[in-house]
Structure 1
Amino acid sequence: MSTAFVLGQKNLTYDPAGLVALYESYPAVRDSYAQAADWSGHQVQDLLHKRADDKGLSLVTSVGLTAAMLGIADVLAEQGVLPGTVGGLSLGALTAAAVAGALPRREVVRLLCDTDASDVPESPEHPEGCVAAVLPLGQSVEGFYGTRPGVWFSGDFGMHVSGAFRMVLLSGHREALDRLAAEHPPEYFVFSEEPIAVHSPLRHRARDITARLTAGIEFGDPAVPLCSSLEERTLFTGAEVRSMVARNVVEPVHTDRLAREMRRQGARLGLVLGPTLPRDAFEFPFPVVHIEAPEDVAAAVAAVTEHGGGTVTGQTATTAQSADSPQTEGRTRA
């Protein structure tokens, strides 16, 4: 049995209370936030409480959630739980590369900071945005984009556990998204506060900047199978991870593709790190435990034991805590 670490996307609206409690409960989480603060130049409390002006909120949220996901991975390692496979969506894909040992943590934070200036609309005259769209059974997503100028398909979060609808992400020019929403019932659309057209061709400049920056970063081969959310594929080399990081900026992400590839790699249980995916909302091909607060850690360890993954009693382990040597040799994986 293998346990998958699932790292979700940036969430601008999450309640930080659970992460604050984790920070207060676990030194490993405090260490992770301290490192992220040092590398980013932000204060720990700003990262922890998601404090920033409107222009800086996106970066503070990205760095703060990255610190949280890495800190939770370290807490699990201290409990003897290490991933058999790992993968993520959007921000989570970049952070997953660090958890898998392919990218130093320092470089993840620096990359977020160095690309922050590119997180602006391609043209100031054309505001951008993104929206989560609910697709009831029988509704085709192709009617929402493709034939509509200025709207792109940017992600698929999969089928809701109720089986009643699917959730997709659309991005593009805000005017085009508003026109689309006006043609459907209001409950079909939930607009994000994100001011850019994420995972769309409009992000081509940001992709080029990311590619240029990552060319100067040393990527290692993942120490555990690193599953992509861009296609059903596992990445085994540093070169493949470098390419994924740049492509991740402009290409759609897929929860179902990520989950199926994890299942193919042997995953029988998923642990979602941080408040990055809606709790108990979307279908996975294996049971999933969300870790967003201290009480979730015990639930995760119990789930690993219940599903046969086991824990290493008395083992003290850490996952890629070093800024420059993200290796996990000699540790037992769940």
Structure 2
Amino acid sequence: MTISFIIGGGVALEPPGLALHERYQVMRDWSDQVVRWSGLTLDQLYTEDLSVHLYDGDDSARPELRHLAAARQAMLAIGIADVLAEQGIRPNLLGGSSLGWMICSCLAGAISREDLFAMLKFNSRQPMSPPGEPGRGFAVAIIEADADLDWYCGPDRPGVYFASDVGGRFADGKYQMVMFSGKLDALRELAAEAPRGQLNVLSVLGGGHTPLQEYYAGLVRPYLEKIPFRDPELPVVSALTKGAAVTTAEGVRAEFAANLTTPAYLSHVKQGLAERGTELALLLGAGVPVALFAWPYPTLSVSSPEEIEQAAATVYDMGIELTFN
């Protein structure tokens, strides 16, 4: 029976708390390693609330916040995978969007854990736009499933781009959650014209997944060329290309580079995993609210000890063979 691990895009802004750390020795050992590699503290990784900075009016992309939010997401997702592995629950397939795709590549063995955390630190310290240019940002929106995207980011909206779908259509089929990215002034103008409360503009993390990030991508690509990528041990389904899975080291390197400027679709991941026979998906760490969205297979969120127990019970009930090694 095929189990897939999914890791959503975005970063972990809200503190996860210490429950995982307190419950599992493997999580404590892993967190200590993350502290050594990242230079962050356990308090920062587990208890610092970054969500308070989202609407503080600071238009700069804050390197320290970007680093912590990304490192925390990677720590949580990889640590939860380690806890599940201790219980014999291992994936046959992996798929993720944006940062989640990079973390999945790490779980597949295509990039070492140490190299992943070094890359996250390096990336967070690069300016996301040329000196003197306006800041970039994201806008998170819940819009109708059949909404005209050109109204939001078409030719008449210079400076606004489609960046990602967060989870595809909602379970009721009527709405979808998407992210736009671009110049902050253009995003704020869009938010003002859209129905009240439909778009929330975020500035402190910068932008992403648009051609505007080419300056940033130019700074990051030489660093990526130095990383010793390897062929992944499991297929990693792409969020950038519909139906595609990455299976080679050079494919992983190319995906890391394209991920900087190309829109990411979690719906591509969902479909690609379904086409490859997924019968149960576990969505690791912070990110996609599973219950909101339609899924082509049973899907469980796994981000707490209670949810790990639920996942283990589900695997047992479905008669999935456990793998200990």
| TM exceeding 0.5 | yes
CA contact (8 A) 2:12 2:286 kept: no
Question: Quick one: distance in 1 between partners of 2:133 and 2:223?
Answer: 28
Question: Quick one: distance in 2 between partners of 1:55 and 1:245?
Answer: 20
Offset at residue 237 of structure 1 (A)? 0.4
1:28-58 deviation line (CA, Å, top 9, x unaligned): 1112211111111222222222368965122
Which amino acid is the alignment partner of residue 16 of structure 2? P
Partner of 1:107: 115
Offset at residue 162 of structure 1 (A)? 2.1
Aligned mate of 1:41, from 21, 39, 42? 39
Partner of 1:8: 8
Partner of 1:134: 142
Offset at residue 240 of structure 1 (A)? 0.2
CA contact (8 A) 2:12 2:73 kept: no
Alignment of 1:149-298 (within 5 A): 149-157=158-166, 158-231=168-241, 232-298=243-309
1:88-140 deviation line (CA, Å, top 9, x unaligned): 11111111111011110000000011111225344544122111122214421
Q: Judging changes above 3 Å, is the alpha-carbon distance between structure 1 residues 197 and 122 closer, same or farther for their aligned structure 2 residues?
A: farther
Question: Quick one: distance in 1 between partners of 2:100 and 2:171?
Answer: 22
Question: Quick one: distance in 2 between partners of 1:154 and 1:286?
Answer: 25
TM-score, normalised to structure 2's length? Answer: 0.90
Say which is worse superposed, 181-190 or 233-242, in terms of deviation: 181-190
Which amino acid is the alignment partner of residue 153 of structure 2? Y
1:122-162 deviation line (CA, Å, top 9, x unaligned): 45441221111222144211221121110011011210112
CA contact (8 A) 2:246 2:252 kept: yes
CA contact (8 A) 1:33 1:48 kept: no
Question: Quick one: distance in 1 between partners of 2:237 and 2:45?
Answer: 28
TM-score, normalised to structure 1's length? Answer: 0.88
Question: Quick one: distance in 2 between partners of 1:90 and 1:138?
Answer: 24
Q: Say whether residues 1:63 and 2:71 are aligned partners.
A: yes
Between the aligned residues of both structures, percent identity stands at: 29
Aligned mate of 2:84, from 61, 70, 76? 76
Offset at residue 65 of structure 1 (A)? 1.5
Which amino acid is the alignment partner of residue 16 of structure 1? P
Which amino acid is the alignment partner of residue 272 of structure 1? L
CA contact (8 A) 2:63 2:124 kept: no
Partner of 2:48: 50
Aligned mate of 1:92, from 86, 90, 100? 100
Offset at residue 199 of structure 1 (A)? 0.9
Question: Quick one: distance in 1 between partners of 2:139 and 2:131?
Answer: 19
Q: Judging changes above 3 Å, is the alpha-carbon distance between structure 1 residues 280 and 162 closer, same or farther for their aligned structure 2 residues?
A: same
CA contact (8 A) 1:50 1:57 kept: no
Offset at residue 205 of structure 1 (A)? 2.3
Question: Quick one: distance in 1 between partners of 2:225 and 2:158?
Answer: 33
Question: Quick one: distance in 2 between partners of 1:44 and 1:120?
Answer: 27
CA contact (8 A) 1:153 1:200 kept: yes
Which amino acid is the alignment partner of residue 14 of structure 1? E
Q: Judging changes above 3 Å, is the alpha-carbon distance between structure 1 residues 310 and 107 closer, same or farther for their aligned structure 2 residues?
A: same
Which amino acid is the alignment partner of residue 25 of structure 1? R
Offset at residue 305 of structure 1 (A)? 2.6
Question: Quick one: distance in 1 between partners of 2:30 and 2:216?
Answer: 27
Partner of 1:309: 320
Question: Quick one: distance in 2 between partners of 1:309 and 1:142?
Answer: 45
Say which is worse superposed, 208-217 or 227-236, in terms of deviation: 208-217
Offset at residue 310 of structure 1 (A)? 2.8
Q: Judging changes above 3 Å, is the alpha-carbon distance between structure 1 residues 177 and 51 closer, same or farther for their aligned structure 2 residues?
A: closer
CA contact (8 A) 1:129 1:174 kept: yes
C-alpha RMSD over aligned residues = 1.8
CA contact (8 A) 1:97 1:241 kept: yes
1:219-257 deviation line (CA, Å, top 9, x unaligned): 111111111111120111011001101111111110110
Question: Quick one: distance in 1 between partners of 2:93 and 2:204?
Answer: 30
**Structure 1 gap ranges (5+):** 318-334
